[in-house]
Amino acid sequence: MFVKETEIESHKVESYFNDDFIGYRNHLILEMLYQTGIRLSELINLKTDDIQSDSIKVLGKRNKERIIPISKDLHQKIYNYELKRGLLDSVEPFLFLREDGKKIYEKLVYRIINNYLSSHTNLEKRSPHVLRHTFATHMMNNGVGLEVLKNLLGHADLSATQVYTHNSFSQLNNIYSQAHPRGQKK
């Protein structure tokens, strides 16, 4: 239940969205969910003041605050979006807005993600939560520890994070089969 890296490559994502406010916003929503693993509710409630050059401050479940690092590339995308956002002349403190200057809502984000994933993957589930799973799976497959992932995802308990280990075990099994002399297939 995750998106393959090839289905969410940067050049595919960028060419999919228009070069206007909606395109910048929708592209950033997708990138933000994929690159940070934040929850839908956390995305919707992000405020412009929560953005730093190297991190975002997220208010999670039970009003628990956490800091998530972001790449320079993601920060640049946020900056470019904020330039377009500034033309709306809105007083809303929230980062993600509709064209009328009001805060985005859950169903809108679902539609954005579903539309993109429908054209780029064969997954049956095409929700923002799939991108959270994708973030976690890709992090695990690239060596991040369970405790670090727990903190990035804002889980209160390690058992909630352990659901992502099944995908990593499959990758470990493949590596073992290829690398260990007794594990190699004949």
Radius of gyration of the chain (CA): 18
Q: Respond yes or no: is residue 39 known to be catalytic.
A: yes
> How far, in Å, CA of 117 to CA of 114, rounded?
5
Q: Respond yes or no: is residue 27 known to be catalytic.
A: no
Q: Respond yes or no: is residue 129 known to be catalytic.
A: yes
Q: Respond yes or no: is residue 85 known to be catalytic.
A: no
Q: Where are the alpha helices (DSSP H) in the chain?
A: 10-16, 21-36, 40-44, 72-86, 106-120, 128-141, 146-153, 158-161, 165-179
Considering the candidates 24, 25, 34, 39, report the single residue annotated as catalytic: 39
Considering the candidates 132, 133, 138, 150, report the single residue annotated as catalytic: 132
**In the structure encoding, which two tokens stand for residue 109, read together?**
């984000």
Q: Respond yes or no: is residue 57 known to be catalytic.
A: no
In degrees, rounded to 5, the angle at the alpha carbon of residue 73 between the alpha carbons of residues 13 and 111 is 35
- The catalytic residues are 39, 61, 129, 132, 155, 164
